[in-house]
Structure 1
Amino acid sequence: MSNLAGSNKGLVSVTGANGGIAQSLLPALLGDHYAVRALFRAENANSRRWAEAGCEIVIGDLRDPDSLKSLVAGADVVIHGAAKIMGFDPGAFHATNVQGTKNLLAAAIDSGCRRFVHLSSMAVYGAGEPGADGAYPENTELRSSESLDAYTRTKLLAERAVVEAGEGSALEYVILRPTCVYGPYIQSWTLLPLNMILKGRPLLIGFDAPEGLMDAVYVEDLVQAILRAVAEPRAAGEIFNIGGESLGFREFYERLGAMVDRAPRLGSEARLQRLSSMIRPVSRFWPAAAEIGRGLEMVRRLSLSRCRYPSTKAMTTLGYAPRFQLPTGMLRTELVLRETGALPARRRPIPSSDRHYHVRPRVLVRPETEPQIIDAIGEARARDLPVKAIGALHSFVPIPVTEGVCVSLDRYRQVLEVEESRVTVQAGITIAELNTALRQHGLALPVNGFYTAQTIAGAISTATHGGSLHHGTLADQVEAIRIVRPDGTVLDIGAADGRFHAVVVSLGLLGIVSTVTLKCVPEFYLRSEARVCSIEQLLTEFDSIQRGNDFVDVLYHPQTRQVKMLLMNRVPVPQNEPISPPIESVPPSVARKKLVSFVFRNFLRVLNTTSSESMNRAVVNRVIDTLYPSEGIRRSDEALTFGDLSAVEPFPIDDMEFAVPYGQAVDALRELSDLFERKRNFPRFFPVHLRCSRAGEHWLSPNHRRDVCWFEFWQYPSNPALYAELASLFDRFDSRLHWGKIGSTDPERLTGLYERWADFTRLRSEWDPEGLLLNERTARWFGRDERALGSGS
């Protein structure tokens, strides 16, 4: 029913109520306590929807003056948003955009309306020239010409009609010139290009090269400007540019294309000129062809333009302040399109790096600033959707999976500050990128993990580690962390804060990490030395090897009972001694990676099913000498990150890793060796990987308050019987699973393994009571009421 009786701000009449802008404008007016009367050309589902929402509906047409009298009767303000945008009949453009505006103005004056807000367009600047600074201010001289396309010409003439009517009557007018408006119901800059991207067609505006600039404004920012134009006394008799942000056409279209996982096809000036040359000969006897030619010229002009449309006047007079940057505006657009069925409910799956699982969210957002991260969380919270951040998706278990808002940090990866040995970085920077940046400052991480494509946030959140009893995990190098919590607040937390050790290793359950400050060390070099011994000798010398070397990486082959170790120790910065060349490889082609992956997978299947242990031993003996790089001196980040898996297309190799208390490591290794000897059930190709880490203080880190030895197992295809035996063995040694590796731990057991488990669970419930950051996997561990978990310590 109509809200005319319940309003307290007066009646506003709106034209173009079936258009894209009105779908955001009408609810904003109703929410701001205006009575709303809306013009539709015919009754339809949309008009009935707005009638139910509280609008009074008038069926009419701008070309019918009588129908407009009913629209404006008793109205305080008229907002004129209706216009003809597309077509090739200049007469039709004039009838709607010019004469229709005049009809509406006359009705508004006769009815005694106070203010007329006219939505024009930046297109009118096609009738003028920019200033020396490349900008089009509102006072740009504009001249109508028959050479202009019908839309530009008639929008300019409509503006003049508004000014003349205002100057000749008591009717106040305000003219708004929006730039490129986009949003979920906008045809010109959203739905039309999205449809063309889906069909693989070249887009109408914007060239691949040279690239022009556009000014994109989200529809809700335009609505904010309209509401201010309605209410601000100083706006009377003024014209305002209403813009958002300047960017290239490609970036804009790529954001649209990302919604449907398609790359946009931009046009070219040469192609446009060919079309124009084909149209020109027939334009003399075909009027529509002449209009097509003028339209193509308008497209060429817009596509090449690098001009600006400053909104300074609107900001000063109206208090206009655009809120939505492009990533957030596109996020809101995509959410509505999926909610309304205009796009599929969920995106295409995003595979994890090892293909163990896929992330298939409703939307994917790629923030470039912290406010955009805050906006993404806010959008998820407002719609009661789960939200998770993703990095390299290196985790072997679906900790990052979400069906709601997925926040990719791949555009949030800058080094922000280097202050002596303290380095602050954005959360999406990868370990490889960080190592490169540190090198330029003569710095290094004290410890590195094996896999450098991880983001820093993902690495610390799951306690990624290296192999040194003299160093903790990578998370133990964190000095401060900045996190966006589920309620949108941002916290800077240092080691003095009691919550610090909960936040650093938190599996993404306390918020989205924004920045990380790391304590680095001066650049250092390591001499690598490979050594082969028996398992018996390793058991005897295990402690002395770990304590006597800076870094130790051990590969134990149960088939042969052989062990190969890489011992790495600090050396002075080389002066006369040669440095070993970097461990590099030429990236293989996609086809080669697929072929290698196919051969390797099938080789592993055959090897896993053969009963010939002699064959297994022969294979292991052939490959054992290739598992470590050549001996020599290398910079620490090269020596510690020698693994290169780029030659193989990823496939789901299982990876289990147990953190055993260091004091029990030898006993655990002895029992493991005995188990393999008794059962003859062991990984057929892959070795057992052993590394150690010093104790740390982070509540959920597997090295919390104890030195640990990591036992890592790789296997393909899956071998559930082996996994069950391993889990049973290591459970007896009070082991903790690596959070990012496969395996199952009883939630009840976790409370005994981690002394601060209950404290973490309480904090998680306090910061995220709605469970926005939980998913099916993590809810098994943290989804219960913390009161059931005891008081903690």
Structure 2
Amino acid sequence: MTNVTNWAGNVSFASALEAPRSVEELQELVAASEKLRVLGTGHSFNRIADSTGTLVSLAELPTVIEVGASGVTVSAGLRYGEITAALEAQGLALHNLGSLPHISVAGACATGTHGSGDGNGPLADAVNAITFVDASGELVTLTRGDADFAGSIVSLGALGVTVSLTLDVQPSYQVSQVVYDGLPVERLGTDFAAVMGSAYSVSAFTDWVDPDVMVWRKQRGHEPIEPTWLGAKVADGPRHPIKAMPADYATQQGGIPGPWHERLPHFRLEFTPSNGDELQSEYFVPRERAAEAFDALRALGNQFAPVIQVSEIRTIAADDLWLSPSQGRDTVALHFTWIQDEAAVRPVLAALEEAIAPLDARPHWGKVFVADAATLRQRYPKVPDFIALAAKYDPAGKFRNPYLDTYLPS
């Protein structure tokens, strides 16, 4: 295949894309390859998935969605939107979802993708078992509690090729979503706990210049609509995260209850995202330092203005996965959607990262950042352990690529 790009179109992959149709075929391909990486749904914005050798898609592997005593086991190439409806049909649910249901389960977990909610860990936190093909072509299965497990889930593709994941499930639940316009931006700092703790999942949208913030509150069950809240007013119609964009493809709002998988994402599954004319960055700081982060970002608002489309604020509960952005600490996630002009965005990123460096900010592995390897090793304390773990399963560096050589040098 030629002209393979990531979702945003800012990364083109030079290697041919292989799509094995069985696990055995995948094992043979891995064993025979000198260099190999996996390309999921392409929703990364840097070269984390690129390879100087073979690129592999898991989309053609046999579909597996099997509910058992340990949860639901799913084939790695499936998208979240493909498993959630199957779970709902059996009266089951996951703890949380990301903003897009179109991303692959394995890719989302491998890069630390998350939703929102003070008590909700990232998507990878639901994984209780993983099976992957190591560099020799052998299958390896690790379960929660195994010595290597915590380093194997948010793995950046460095340990092998994931074949399946087993996820914790719970009884299905309803969610109602209410959007508020006009939250005074100052309230993000002064009333942060009240804002982000006001529902099961909360997202706040701003550009750090506009004095008004839009807040999406997703509550389990039915949420009585408050006409006014912390100085904000309930929206008079559906909203898109970017104020100027039509809301046609956003999930149901207005406080109307519906199944968890049709409310927790921001966008409907039946909306297939086209290549996005955007770049994305995201940084994660300790939750108790949120107000300091907001002050720093507001001070940079005028620098953001020429290149920003929207910024989203979410919270994540602490987890123990080694390379997770929320490893070891309750976290606030600061997401930025930029215009697709990397030359214009990078100087802004440099100023942004400098401003929030004192807050121990961790950049998202799959998005655009300027931090170097030394900074990442400082911000992610388990990096040395992870590098040693990757060498255990891939001693010759088959799954390494220029990205890993740059940011996680062995």
TM-score, scaled relative to structure 1: 0.47
1:509 and 2:168 equivalent? no
Distance 1:413 1:393 in 2: 20
Contact 2:38–2:57 (8 Å) recurs in 1: yes
Structure 1 residues 740, 527: closer, same or farther in 2, change over 3 A?
Answer: same
Alignment partner for residue 386 of structure 2, among 757, 760, 764?
Answer: 760
Q: Which amino acid aligns with 1:732?
A: P
Structure 1 counterpart of 2:19? 366
- 2:374 counterpart SS class: helix
* Per-residue Cα deviation, 1:714-744 (whole angstroms, up to 9, x for no partner): 1114333322211111222101111111112
Structure 1 counterpart of 2:234? none
Structure 1 residues 377, 568: closer, same or farther in 2, change over 3 A?
Answer: same
Contact 2:35–2:54 (8 Å) recurs in 1: yes
Q: Could you tell me how far 1:648 is from its partner in structure 2?
A: 6.7
Contact 2:321–2:327 (8 Å) recurs in 1: yes
Alignment partner for residue 283 of structure 2, among 658, 664, 674?
Answer: 658
Q: Could you tell me how far 1:625 is from its partner in structure 2?
A: 8.2
Distance 2:148 2:210 in 1: 47
* Per-residue Cα deviation, 1:173-205 (whole angstroms, up to 9, x for no partner): xxxxxxxxxxxxxxxxxxxxxxxxxxxxxxxxx
Q: Which amino acid aligns with 1:550?
A: Y
> After the TM superposition, which residues 477-516 of structure 1 pair with which residues of structure 2 at under 5 Å, given as runs?
477-516=126-165
- 2:348 counterpart SS class: helix
Distance 1:395 1:488 in 2: 26
Contact 1:555–1:565 (8 Å) recurs in 2: yes
Structure 1 residues 772, 652: closer, same or farther in 2, change over 3 A?
Answer: farther
Structure 1 counterpart of 2:105? 456
- 1:732 counterpart SS class: helix
Distance 1:621 1:483 in 2: 42
Q: State percent identity of aligned pairs.
A: 26
Distance 1:367 1:623 in 2: 39
Q: Which amino acid aligns with 2:317?
A: R
- 2:37 counterpart SS class: strand
Q: Could you tell me how far 1:621 is from its partner in structure 2?
A: 6.5
Q: Could you tell me how far 1:680 is from its partner in structure 2?
A: 5.0
Contact 1:415–1:437 (8 Å) recurs in 2: no
Q: Which amino acid aligns with 2:260?
A: S
> After the TM superposition, which residues 359-398 of structure 1 pair with which residues of structure 2 at under 5 Å, given as runs?
359-361=13-15, 363-380=16-33, 385-398=34-47
Structure 1 counterpart of 2:168? 519
Structure 1 counterpart of 2:403? 777
Alignment partner for residue 405 of structure 1, among 54, 58, 64?
Answer: 54
Q: Could you tell me how far 1:696 is from its partner in structure 2?
A: 0.5
Alignment partner for residue 214 of structure 2, among 564, 568, 588?
Answer: 564
> After the TM superposition, which residues 77-116 of structure 1 pair with which residues of structure 2 at under 5 Å, given as runs?
none
> After the TM superposition, which residues 701-780 of structure 1 pair with which residues of structure 2 at under 5 Å, given as runs?
701-718=324-341, 719-780=345-406
Distance 1:352 1:563 in 2: 30
- 1:720 counterpart SS class: helix
Distance 2:47 2:174 in 1: 36
Q: Which amino acid aligns with 1:377?
A: V
Distance 2:251 2:22 in 1: 40
Structure 2 counterpart of 1:639? 263
Contact 1:511–1:773 (8 Å) recurs in 2: yes
* Per-residue Cα deviation, 1:440-499 (whole angstroms, up to 9, x for no partner): 211111100012221111010001100111110000000111111111221110112110
* Per-residue Cα deviation, 1:63-117 (whole angstroms, up to 9, x for no partner): xxxxxxxxxxxxxxxxxxxxxxxxxxxxxxxxxxxxxxxxxxxxxxxxxxxxxxx
1:672 and 2:297 equivalent? yes
- 1:424 counterpart SS class: strand
Q: Which amino acid aligns with 2:385?
A: D
Contact 1:421–1:522 (8 Å) recurs in 2: no
1:465 and 2:118 equivalent? no
- 2:129 counterpart SS class: strand
- 1:492 counterpart SS class: strand
Distance 2:251 2:65 in 1: 35
Q: Could you tell me how far 1:684 is from its partner in structure 2?
A: 5.7
Structure 1 residues 521, 654: closer, same or farther in 2, change over 3 A?
Answer: same
Contact 1:427–1:514 (8 Å) recurs in 2: yes
Structure 1 counterpart of 2:233? none
- 1:703 counterpart SS class: coil
- 2:387 counterpart SS class: helix
Distance 1:670 1:625 in 2: 30
Distance 1:635 1:518 in 2: 19
1:695 and 2:318 equivalent? yes
TM-score, scaled relative to structure 2: 0.88
- 2:73 counterpart SS class: strand
- 1:446 counterpart SS class: coil
Distance 2:120 2:276 in 1: 32
Distance 1:471 1:647 in 2: 26
Contact 2:251–2:265 (8 Å) recurs in 1: no
1:356 and 2:10 equivalent? yes
* Per-residue Cα deviation, 1:126-161 (whole angstroms, up to 9, x for no partner): xxxxxxxxxxxxxxxxxxxxxxxxxxxxxxxxxxxx
1:475 and 2:124 equivalent? yes
- 1:423 counterpart SS class: strand
> After the TM superposition, which residues 678-689 of structure 1 pair with which residues of structure 2 at under 5 Å, given as runs?
679=302, 681-682=304-305, 686-689=309-312
Distance 2:27 2:273 in 1: 37
Q: Which amino acid aligns with 1:662?
A: R
Q: Could you tell me how far 1:649 is from its partner in structure 2?
A: 4.0
Structure number with greater CO (CA < 8 Å, separation at least 6) is 2
Contact 1:467–1:551 (8 Å) recurs in 2: yes
- 1:568 counterpart SS class: strand
Distance 1:455 1:717 in 2: 23
Contact 2:126–2:168 (8 Å) recurs in 1: yes
Give the structure with higher Rg (CA): 1
Looking at secondary structure, tell me which structure has more strand per residue: 2
Contact 1:656–1:713 (8 Å) recurs in 2: yes
Structure 1 counterpart of 2:185? 535
* Per-residue Cα deviation, 1:480-532 (whole angstroms, up to 9, x for no partner): 11111111221110112110011111000000111100001111111111122
> After the TM superposition, which residues 147-162 of structure 1 pair with which residues of structure 2 at under 5 Å, given as runs?
none
Distance 1:622 1:393 in 2: 26
Contact 1:683–1:714 (8 Å) recurs in 2: no
Distance 2:374 2:63 in 1: 40
Distance 1:741 1:717 in 2: 13
Distance 1:625 1:558 in 2: 22
Between the two proteins, the alignment pairs up a number of residues equal to 386
> After the TM superposition, which residues 191-340 of structure 1 pair with which residues of structure 2 at under 5 Å, given as runs?
261=1
- 1:692 counterpart SS class: strand
Q: Could you tell me how far 1:778 is from its partner in structure 2?
A: 1.3
Structure 1 residues 717, 479: closer, same or farther in 2, change over 3 A?
Answer: closer
Distance 1:754 1:437 in 2: 36
- 1:665 counterpart SS class: helix
Structure 1 residues 434, 683: closer, same or farther in 2, change over 3 A?
Answer: farther
Structure 1 counterpart of 2:67? 418
